[in-house]
Amino acid sequence: MPDAPPGPSAISGTTRLYVVLGDPVAQVRAPGLLNDLFARTARDAVLVPVHVGPDDLEEVMRGLRHMRNLDGILVTVPHKIEVCRYADLLGPAAEVAGSANALRRNPDGTWLADNFDGAGFVHGLRDNGHDPAGTTVALAGAGGAGRAVAAALLTAGIAQLRLYDPDSTRREDVLARLEARWPGRVTVGAEGDFDGDGVDIAVNATPLGMRPDDPLPFDLARLPHTCAVADIIMKPAETALLKAARDSGRPVVHGRHMLDSQVLLYEEFFALHAPERKGRLEP
């Protein structure tokens, strides 16, 4: 492996830490993506997975904040909403979405949380030839990732968002957040209310599709034949929804694009683009 990045033997007492929190955590792709980025940018840093259950998030976050060589925290299911409580500041996307997937330690010691799921998803859409500006979008799921995708789509200039979620409290909460910033562009409903008429892009942001026996998150037959179908699920790489959409001739956008596109955003958020001024490259 001539192109192998520096190995664990390159981890030393000076190495800066990043973690990714999840439950489960075995499926996360962040270690591969971020450690490759650290190697490419010659950072003396490493990202490791941390498996933490919902009841233990507070203790773990407190412990992490007291680790002086920890610079960043990535967050995946089911912690994206709860983790906002442990940040001192929320960035604009986290503020609107009410969920975060990345936290960084600022130079003054405060922690800033922001959410790059939505921006990563929109990047991924554009990279696949689907500019969302002016379109009508149907989105299933108003959880941590769903609301981040919703806010980013509205920021990207979609004309109308139809948001579906089985939990009425969650629906109303998200509607209130989005209405405040983008009045008149959002409608919400239960799954049974799904309206595919005139939809340009349909998105799954629910967990449905992770397991082989899950039902589809929405009925493809209700969508126009030209409607693009996107899923944010990464495992399996192609969900039953995307397979059915592809079989029906509709363009599809896979879940991996949301995360792949986020690496560039993390590079900016964690200030990894600038050459490092201290670390293992110095004597």
Q: For residue 267, give both structure tokens.
A: 């590079």
Which CB atom, from 22 or from 120, has the smaller least distance to a second copy?
Answer: 22
Which residues 55-84 are close enough to bind a second copy by CB under 8 A? Answer: 56, 59-70
CA–CA distances in Å: residue 117 to residues 114, 153, 178, 181: 9, 11, 16, 19
Site size for a second copy, by CB under 8 A?
A: 49
Whose CA is closest to 271, among 48, 112, 123?
112
Which CB atom, from 21 or from 149, has the smaller least distance to a second copy?
Answer: 21
Residue type (1 letter), 218:
F
Residue 80 annotated to the active site: yes
CB-based burial, 9-22: b 16+ in 10 Å, e otherwise: eeeeeeebbbbbbb
- What region, left, alpha or beta, does residue 53 occupy, with left being phi > 0 and alpha being psi -120 to 50 degrees? beta
Under the criterion CB under 8 A, does residue 32 sit at the interface with a second copy? yes
Under the criterion CB under 8 A, does residue 225 sit at the interface with a second copy? no
Which CB atom, from 7 or from 249, has the smaller least distance to a second copy?
Answer: 7
Whose CA is closest to 76, among 11, 132, 19?
19
Kindly state the smallest distance separating residue 111's Cβ from a second copy, in Å.
Answer: 14
Q: Could you say which of 40, 41, 42, 48 contacts a second copy (CB under 8 A)?
A: 48
Q: For residue 143, give both structure tokens.
A: 């959880």
Stretch that binds a second copy, among 8-16, 137-145, 182-190, 201-209 (CB under 8 A): 8-16
Which residues 11-30 are close enough to bind a second copy by CB under 8 A? Answer: 11-15, 17, 20, 22, 24-29
Residue type (1 letter), 252:
V
Kindly state the smallest distance separating residue 45's Cβ from a second copy, in Å.
Answer: 9
Listed in order, strand segments (DSSP E) in 165-283 are 186-189, 201-204, 228-231, 252-253
Distance from C-alpha of 123 to C-alpha of 54, rounded to nearest angstrom: 30
Q: Could you say which of 41, 51, 112, 155 contacts a second copy (CB under 8 A)?
A: 51
Kindly state the smallest distance separating residue 251's Cβ from a second copy, in Å.
Answer: 30
Under the criterion CB under 8 A, does residue 8 sit at the interface with a second copy? yes
**Contact by Cβ (8 Å): 148, 115:** yes
Distance from C-alpha of 237 to C-alpha of 12, rounded to nearest angstrom: 35
The one-character DSSP state at 214 is P
Q: Could you say which of 36, 167, 193, 197 contacts a second copy (CB under 8 A)?
A: 36
Under the criterion CB under 8 A, does residue 38 sit at the interface with a second copy? yes
Under the criterion CB under 8 A, does residue 259 sit at the interface with a second copy? no
Which residues 229-248 are close enough to bind a second copy by CB under 8 A? Answer: none
Q: For residue 50, give both structure tokens.
A: 């941390």
Q: Would you tell me how many other CB atoms lie within 10 Å of the CB of residue 213?
A: 5
Stretch that binds a second copy, among 49-57, 115-123, 145-153, 215-223 (CB under 8 A): 49-57
Q: Which residues are catalytic?
A: 80
Q: Where do contacts with a second copy occur on this chain (CB under 8 A)?
A: 1, 4-15, 17, 20, 22, 24-29, 31-32, 35-36, 38-39, 46-53, 56, 59-70
